[in-house]
Amino acid sequence: MSTGNGGETWFPVSVKTRPRLTAVHFADETTGWAAGRDGLILRTDDGGIDWRRLTEGGRDDLADIYFLDAERGWAVGSRGRILYTASGGKRWTLRLSGTTARLFGVFFADEALGFAVGEKGTLLRTVNGGLTWSAVPTDVDEDLFGVRLFDAKRGLAVGARGRILKTEDGGETWDAVRSGTQSWLEAVAYADEKSVVAVGSQGTLLRSADGGASWERVELNAREWLYGLAFADASRGYVVGERGLILRTDDGGKSWKDQEAGLKINLFSVAAASRDDVLVVGDQGRVLQTRNGGEEWEMMPTVTSATLFGAAYHGGTAAWVAGRGGTILKRTDSVATVKIPRPRLPPALRPAPPRLKPGEEADAATPAVEDDIPRATPPRLKPAPKP
């Protein structure tokens, strides 16, 4: 689905695919890629209106995709699969990862240094742009779900049972950091060089004031599962979670204010274009937006009931969301929106399941190709001019 008015209206996009899409990334307003189950990779060159299949797929899910620029990108998934493109997604090369572990996340600090994390403490590092990968000893066996670097030296990885790893030498070595929790940690994000926040199960929200060396729990009046977070700048950040929970900070994560949208559905992703302009997506195809920092939320009309897991938002019409069953939405024209009154009651204290279950694999009975997405074809070579 698409919108061209900041999400006030959404219309179907010509994408129908059986494999679930789990990640989407845009290099600019027109060029984007989506990855999902069965090794599926799609590309668009018109801002998400039309999509082309770049891989035939197999039985290897793709859990994450990351693009450094408009040409270079990586995708990771089941059985240690790492795919690389240097042509903006037109052609993909399988890189040897040296592992069969399922990979959950990938991130590049620059054109050479990159990391992938996965099950049973798997942490891979490349120093040549993903040409080759080597396993970095971590001495942990918990699944790792997210990895982020502040610069080419400092970074963090988070995972199951409160596991946090920290590097200060560009990922050559990683040290376990005491988190003080056994909760499942879903995501981590830097507010600035010193302030870092990690979120996870049972309302767990951890904050570090020293770049991740030590952590303390920020007490919340909630036990909902926290799924996503984003910082607009060093002070303003947002967290979303189960049962419509939305939190906002104005001090780099020290304290959080309830910004609930009034909907009791799971919210999985949040993207901030600025301090006040924020997009949130979740269950039942819901897309919410605020333009005043969460004081009021508007529900955008959609024509899908599919769960939406991811959002990318840079303001205006530069917004894309993706989710279950290959659903892709892009902003188009504006229509009337519905304002949602904020509830007066605090969030209910109820646990929720993780967004992504460990060891979850694609159904082997699901056909690798079941959609109406055409194959991408290489450009025809024009004949050389006659002398």
pLDDT in tens, 93-134: 888 899 999 888 888 999 999 999 999 999 999 999 998 999
H or E element: which one contains 207? Answer: strand 205-208
3-state secondary structure of 101: coil
* Residues 156-176: tens digit of each pLDDT: 999 999 999 999 999 999 999
pLDDT at 343 over 90: no
Pairwise pLDDT comparison (313 vs 155), residue with the higher score: 155
pLDDT of residue 142: 95
344 pLDDT tier (thresholds 50, 70, 90): very low
pLDDT of residue 214: 96
pLDDT of residue 30: 72
Q: How far is it, in rounded angstroms, from Cα 243 to Cα 231?
A: 21
**Helix%, strand%, coil% for the chain, nearest 5:** 5, 40, 55
Pairwise pLDDT comparison (261 vs 327), residue with the higher score: 261
328 pLDDT tier (thresholds 50, 70, 90): very low
Answer positive or negative: Cα dihedral of 77, 85, 309, 59. negative
Pairwise pLDDT comparison (15 vs 261), residue with the higher score: 261
pLDDT of residue 300: 76
pLDDT of residue 187: 86
91 pLDDT tier (thresholds 50, 70, 90): low
Give the highest mean pLDDT range of 8-17, 46-55, 370-379: 46-55
295 pLDDT tier (thresholds 50, 70, 90): confident
pLDDT of residue 361: 44
The residue-averaged pLDDT of 189-218 equals 94
Q: Write out the E strands in 68-110.
A: 73-77, 82-85, 93-95, 103-108
335 pLDDT tier (thresholds 50, 70, 90): very low
pLDDT of residue 122: 96
381 pLDDT tier (thresholds 50, 70, 90): very low
Half-sphere exposure of residue 338: CA atoms within 13 angstroms, side-chain side: 10
- Region at 136 (left for phi over 0; alpha for psi -120 to 50; beta for the rest): beta
The residue-averaged pLDDT of 326-353 equals 47
Q: How far is it, in rounded angstroms, from Cα 322 to Cα 306?
A: 9
pTM score: 0.64
The least confident of 65-74, 179-188, 220-229, 340-349 is 340-349
Q: How far is it, in rounded angstroms, from Cα 74 to Cα 66?
A: 5
Pairwise pLDDT comparison (50 vs 338), residue with the higher score: 50
Q: Are 311 and 317 in contact (CB under 8 A)?
A: no
Over the chain, what is the mean pLDDT? Answer: 75
Pairwise pLDDT comparison (361 vs 367), residue with the higher score: 361
pLDDT of residue 358: 45
How much of the chain exceeds pLDDT 90, in percent?
A: 34
* Residues 279-292: tens digit of each pLDDT: 887 778 788 888 99
pLDDT of residue 37: 61
User: Whose structure tokens read 């959080």?
Assistant: 256
pLDDT at 184 over 50: yes
pLDDT of residue 75: 76
The residue-averaged pLDDT of 356-361 equals 46
